[in-house]
Structure 1
Amino acid sequence: MILSEKITEERKKNGWSQEELAEKLSVSRQAVSKWESAQSTPDLQKIIRMAELFQVSTDYLLRDEIEVESNQGSTEYGSAEERSVHMVSMEEANEILNWKRKLAPRMAGAVALCILSPVLLIFLLGLADSHIWGLRENMATGVGLTILMIMVATAVFIFITGGLQGKTYEYLEFEQIETAYGVTGLVKEKRKEYESCFLKGMAIGVVLCILAVIPLFMVMAMEAPDYVVTASVSLLLILVARGVYLIVRVCIIKGSYDMLLQEGDYSRKEKQVKKKKDTFASIYWCTATAIYLGWSFWTQRWDFTWLVWPVAGVLFGAVSAIISITVKEGE
């Protein structure tokens, strides 16, 4: 149990209401409510007083947090006094988690918009090539490119505004942090509750990306007309966009827990590597975008040039792994 749960349990064992406990501690009922909902933490004097009232030891109330602080002070990285760290309070931790939950669908939606942007263009060009509905190629290109640019511009706007809003918490990605007592237990509890949702989202997202190619393979096997092939490519991108949306959304939320716990991609060693990889990532994806747009406009094969993205994604993973290994070996 984390501190907030222990306070609630001990209060109920003694048959006290929140108002009665607040009166004994000379605080407001709202303060006790925030402690029990893990929105804030009591100061040390209040912890000592509660230990006396509940007839338990302060070690019992703070036991999990004491163990965490002991691990954080390990000699592998030096003591807290020897490092420049940012202290994260309970209130700040809750703000970060809430912000990430609100940010996740927006950022995932922006990624999906980028994938969906050429869908209408591909579909209309397929109709124009087959002379269906009397649609001319120039009109199909004009309408399709207009929608493409609007969707890409919208996605870029979301990326930029999301990044600006996150400047306040940028230190979580690069700096070493320490958490106030109660924070680690709270975050671990919430991450455990989210685990099933994360696994479900990842599984569905990956399956959608894999199954997305089936309609295209089927129409190619049946030697369907060109407009049917381009329509199946559009459907492929729609399914991939949905799958990627789910993957990005759950990964952002799970990443917020890893950030505060300094685990996974946000461990102390990984933060050192991340600083050096970010410059490469910015250059890489700008280059990939330039290649995609340049190739597409030059050849007008929007039904084919989308292959740049899966290839770029695979290569990025491979190159990033090589860079990580090289940096770690260098250190």
Structure 2
Amino acid sequence: MILADKIIKLRKQFAWSQEELADKMGVSRQSVSKWESTNSIPDLNKIIKLAEIFGVTTDYLLKDNIETIESINGEVEPTINSISLNQANRYVDMKNTMSFIIVKGVLLCLFSVVPLFYLLSLVQTQQMDIDSNTATVSGIIIMLVMVTFGVSFFVRTGQFSNELASIEEDEFELEYGVKSIFKEKLEMITSSYHQKLSIGIALFILSVVPFLYVAITNGSTEKILTMLCVLFFMIGAGLYIIIPASAQYNAYSLLIKEGDYHPREKDKNKNIEALAAFYWPLLVAIYLGWSFWTMQWGVTWIVFPVGAVLFAALVGLMGLISKTKS
């Protein structure tokens, strides 16, 4: 293996772009490009610096017959995973399957409050011979059953974790020609993805319109409860459109390491995931605690839209802090 190939291999192993390696070397990106394309050879000082940056011996860089990566301390560096076309396609298929499982769980949890609103609306219209306490208790029981089934779908996604880890958690590189295939696939679905994203966001925004209209026009309690059900169904429709589309788009982006999955974005994404893992369970706990304490389920749902806006603000603040530090 010649020097140019070794520089490419090591750079990819560290998930660096040519620009990032150039910054570390104190040279231009064009210089790195020429080294990798064999149009020029770095001088001895640059080779010594390359060895220091990559943590390998100069012998490994200079001797073509040495192909096993040797670190400065004599240890052999682990090679990164090489992902074939079949493995990449299987990864995308698993992400698509997971997305539909997650959608089912999300919709069950989201719609779990609908039976409660429906029963309370029946009490208001006196279409059923039950009092409000019985309707509330029955609605809460149905809600808990639906949430239980919803959580079971989330648990089922764990069956994919081991196979996904080799791509999502470990360093990898795509075999020759695979990246261009998925880059083309990403370009093909980009327009459809943004269209679906727009429709989903529009449904989220418009979902509150029927409820606000009834509330402003002093509609009956029955109508208000009905419009709350409509609100949740519109939100559910938006999620049903967005989640699978985003899963496929993100899977392609991760494979070719573009967008949010570019090496420069890794640390930011890890921080966002850590925040989400703490934030959303806390928000659900606040919602359930407030709801059971006040029994005003028609009011406490406001926690989620407010919480979503706050989460977006926190993510934006994290990005601003990250840019300031850099």
Considering the TM-score relative to the shorter chain, is it more than 0.5?
yes
Partner of 1:119: 114
Partner of 1:6: none
1:173 deviation in Å?
3.5
Partner of 1:247: 242
Q: Does structure 1 residue 143 correspond to structure 2 residue 146?
A: no
Q: 1:170 aligns with which of 153, 165, 168?
A: 165
1:207 deviation in Å?
1.7
Q: Is the 8 A contact 1:88 1:178 kept in 2?
A: yes
In structure 2, relative to structure 1, the CA distance for the partners of 1:197 and 1:329 (3 Å cut) is same
1:130 deviation in Å?
4.8
Q: Is the 8 A contact 2:105 2:150 kept in 1?
A: yes
Distance (whole Å) between structure 2 residues aligned to residue 314 and residue 269 of structure 1:
25
| Identity fraction in percent | 30
1:163 deviation in Å?
3.4
Distance (whole Å) between structure 2 residues aligned to residue 276 and residue 239 of structure 1:
31
Q: Does structure 1 residue 289 correspond to structure 2 residue 295?
A: no
Q: Is the 8 A contact 1:173 1:271 kept in 2?
A: no
**One-letter amino acid of the structure 1 residue matched with residue 18 of structure 2:** S
1:327 deviation in Å?
4.3
Q: Is the 8 A contact 1:176 1:268 kept in 2?
A: no
Distance (whole Å) between structure 1 residues aligned to residue 192 and residue 103 of structure 2:
16
**One-letter amino acid of the structure 2 residue matched with residue 307 of structure 1:** I
In structure 2, relative to structure 1, the CA distance for the partners of 1:158 and 1:146 (3 Å cut) is same
Partner of 1:216: 211
Between 277-286 and 308-317, the greater mean CA deviation after superposition: 277-286
Between 306-315 and 137-146, the greater mean CA deviation after superposition: 137-146
Report the 3-state secondary structure (helix = DSSP H, G, I; strand = E; otherwise coil) of the residue aligned with 2:172. Answer: strand
Q: Is the 8 A contact 1:296 1:305 kept in 2?
A: yes
Q: What's the RMSD between the two structures over aligned residues?
A: 2.9
Between 206-215 and 223-232, the greater mean CA deviation after superposition: 206-215
Q: Does structure 1 residue 201 correspond to structure 2 residue 196?
A: yes
Instruction: Give the gaps of 5 or more residues in structure 2.
Output: 1-8, 22-52, 56-68, 72-76
Between 110-119 and 91-100, the greater mean CA deviation after superposition: 110-119
Distance (whole Å) between structure 2 residues aligned to residue 175 and residue 190 of structure 1:
23
Q: Is the 8 A contact 1:107 1:162 kept in 2?
A: yes
Report the 3-state secondary structure (helix = DSSP H, G, I; strand = E; otherwise coil) of the residue aligned with 1:236. Answer: helix
In structure 2, relative to structure 1, the CA distance for the partners of 1:156 and 1:328 (3 Å cut) is farther
**One-letter amino acid of the structure 1 residue matched with residue 224 of structure 2:** V
In structure 2, relative to structure 1, the CA distance for the partners of 1:87 and 1:330 (3 Å cut) is farther
Partner of 1:25: none
Partner of 2:257: 262
Partner of 2:20: 76
Q: 1:93 aligns with which of 50, 68, 88?
A: 88
Distance (whole Å) between structure 1 residues aligned to residue 213 and residue 271 of structure 2:
44
1:280 deviation in Å?
2.2
Q: Deviations over 1:190-234 (max 9, x none)?
A: 212222331232122112112212221222233221111111111
Q: What is the TM-score with the length of structure 2 in the denominator?
A: 0.73
Distance (whole Å) between structure 2 residues aligned to residue 304 and residue 102 of structure 1:
35
Distance (whole Å) between structure 2 residues aligned to residue 279 and residue 171 of structure 1:
20
Q: Does structure 1 residue 232 correspond to structure 2 residue 220?
A: no
Q: Does structure 1 residue 110 correspond to structure 2 residue 134?
A: no
1:171 deviation in Å?
4.6
Partner of 2:31: none
Distance (whole Å) between structure 2 residues aligned to residue 222 and residue 111 of structure 1:
32
1:246 deviation in Å?
0.9
Q: Is the 8 A contact 2:16 2:263 kept in 1?
A: no
Instruction: Give the gaps of 5 or more residues in structure 1.
Output: 1-65
Q: Bigger relative contact order, structure 1 or 2, given CA contacts below 8 A and separation 6+?
A: 1
Distance (whole Å) between structure 1 residues aligned to residue 324 and residue 216 of structure 2:
49
**One-letter amino acid of the structure 1 residue matched with residue 219 of structure 2:** A
Q: Does structure 1 residue 271 correspond to structure 2 residue 266?
A: yes
Q: 1:156 aligns with which of 132, 151, 162?
A: 151
Q: Does structure 1 residue 179 correspond to structure 2 residue 174?
A: yes
